[in-house]
Structure 1
Amino acid sequence: MKVSQLTERLNEMGVAREVYSINSVEYPNEAYSIFWNGSEWQVYYSERGKKRGIKKFLDESKACEHFLKQISRM
């Protein structure tokens, strides 16, 4: 899966837009995020402007899988 497909998949899952962020440079409050920093994918939970539980991936598909797994646990 590619990041470009995530929004469609999240909509299919019925996930509210407020609980996730895709490639945003801002840190959303209390949301799961996936972000390409130029050299790696980062998947994390953003809380009070801080990244929590950061996982790093070189493979976009693996980052997307991890992101979806985190979202589905909500």
Structure 2
Amino acid sequence: MKKDELRSILINKGISRSYYSLEGGLPNEKLCLDCENGKWIVYYSERGIRTGIRYFDNENDACDYLLHAIEESASGKY
């Protein structure tokens, strides 16, 4: 899946944007998706610090991982 498809899925599931950022950066207390130096990364951003960084070779794998992490976080399992 691509980032735009992930965005649509999250909207359709009613997942609050307060859980995530699909634009990377360092927003406070959000799971984030970004692409740097040709690698896709998923991480948790809090107080300007990235934690739990996971690297992916492709957008599909990163989006799948982030969707799963957001769903677990939104349900209280993360």
TM-score, normalized by the shorter chain, greater than 0.5: yes
Please, which runs of 5 or more residues in structure 2 have no aligned partner?
Answer: 74-78
Asked if residue 9 in structure 1 is aligned to residue 12 in structure 2, the reply is no
Please, which runs of 5 or more residues in structure 1 have no aligned partner?
Answer: none
* SS of corresponding position for 2:31: strand
Question: Aligned Cα RMSD in Å?
Answer: 1.0
CA distance in 1, matches of 2:35, 2:58: 11
- What stretches of structure 1 move > 6 A for 4+ residues in a row? none
Shift of 1:18: 1.8
TM-score (ref. length: structure 1) = 0.90
TM-score (ref. length: structure 2) = 0.86
* SS of corresponding position for 1:63: helix
CA distance in 1, matches of 2:4, 2:12: 14
Equivalent residues in 2 for 1:31-42, closer than 5 Å = 31-42=30-41
Aligned identity (percent) is 37
